[in-house]
Amino acid sequence: MKKAALYCRVSTGDQHIETQLLDLRELAKQRGLEIVREYTDVISGAKSKRPGLDSLMSDARRRRFDVVLVAAFDRIARNVRHFLDVLDELSHLNVQFISMRENIDTGGPLGRAMLTIIGAISELERSLIVERVKAGMRRAKLEGRRIGRAPLNINREEVVSDRRSGMSLTKVARKHHISRASVCRLMREAGISPTRVIAQTPQTSTQLEAAA
């Protein structure tokens, strides 16, 4: 009997990882596989570093199982390159990969060929998306439309002056209708710490710790 590892992932804590596990346990039973460990992650698929997946790959290198079962391709990764890297390493380790939704099993030549085709199509799709974005930016530029965030339409010197006078970050932000982060950035650009200000009076200059 081949030893199997299950890998399940959800993006947020309010999603139920148990649903994936129940389906994969049933699939393993149907295929006569012995489940030796279940690996789970609650994290975005865009992140390549994940505790559960890292642990699975580490155990795969130690030959602790023969098959990896997942509910779908995107449980492994949303990034095509990362997904193919994982499968390539599993292939070199002679670890079979089975995806339930796509009905792909790399244990046979058809499954391996399908993965190659899927990888090629995914790369093509990504290239087309990138080209469409670039074309849109070129069109916007030709039409004279702004690309990116519009610059702050404020009196920067007045913002810095208000903050230096002892006005709090929150009050300065409200007065000029900008965020506290923008106030801090303008202060730093002026070479002044956003958290320490000098309050000037006719009699004296006192260093104050401003209320954030």
Model pLDDT, residue 146: 66
Domain extent at residue 32: 3-121
Q: Are residues 83 and 18 in the same domain?
A: yes
107 and 192 housed in the same domain: no
**Rounded CA separation 62/145 (Å):** 56
Distance separating alpha carbons of residues 197 and 179, to the nearest angstrom: 18
13: domain CATH number? 3.40.50.1390
Nearest to 88 by CA among 60, 62, 65: 60
Query: Does the predicted model carry a pTM greater than 0.85?
Result: no
Q: Is residue 147 part of a domain?
A: no
More confident residue, 80 or 41: 41
> Same domain, yes or no, for 52 and 110?
yes
pLDDT, tens digit (0-9, with 9 covering 90-100), for 9-59: 998 766 789 999 999 999 999 999 999 999 999 988 777 789 999 999 999
User: Is position 138 within any domain?
Assistant: no
11 is catalytic: yes
Do 164 and 86 lie in one domain? The reply is: no
pLDDT of residue 106: 87
- Does residue 139 belong to any structural domain of this protein? no
For residue 97, is pLDDT > 90?
Answer: yes
Q: Is the model more confident about 57 or about 164?
A: 57
Which amino acid makes up residue 176? Answer: H
Across residues 143-166, what is the average pLDDT? 77
Per the residue annotation, which of 11, 44, 161, 165 is the catalytic one? 11
Quick one: pLDDT at residue 204? 40
Instruction: Give the pLDDT of residue 36.
Output: 97
Residue 44 lies in a domain: yes
- Residue 150 half-sphere exposure toward CB, CA atoms < 13 A: 6
How far apart are the C-alpha atoms of 119 and 44, rounded to whole Å?
Answer: 21
179 pLDDT band, cuts 50/70/90, is confident
Q: Tally the domains of the chain.
A: 2
Based on the fold, state whether residues 94 and 171 are members of the same structural domain.
no
> Is residue 135 in some structural domain?
no
Domain assignment of residue 126, yes or no: no
Name residue, tokens 């795969």. Answer: 60
164 and 103 housed in the same domain: no
pLDDT for the residue 150: 56
pLDDT score at 201: 45
**Average pLDDT value for residue range 152-159:** 80
Residue 166 lies in a domain: yes
**The pLDDT value given to residue 58:** 96
What residue spans of the chain are helical by DSSP H?
Answer: 17-30, 51-61, 73-76, 80-92, 109-142, 156-164, 169-176, 180-189
Clarify whether residues 47 and 99 are in a common domain. Answer: yes
For residue 204, being part of any structural domain is answered with yes
Do 117 and 33 have their domain in common? yes
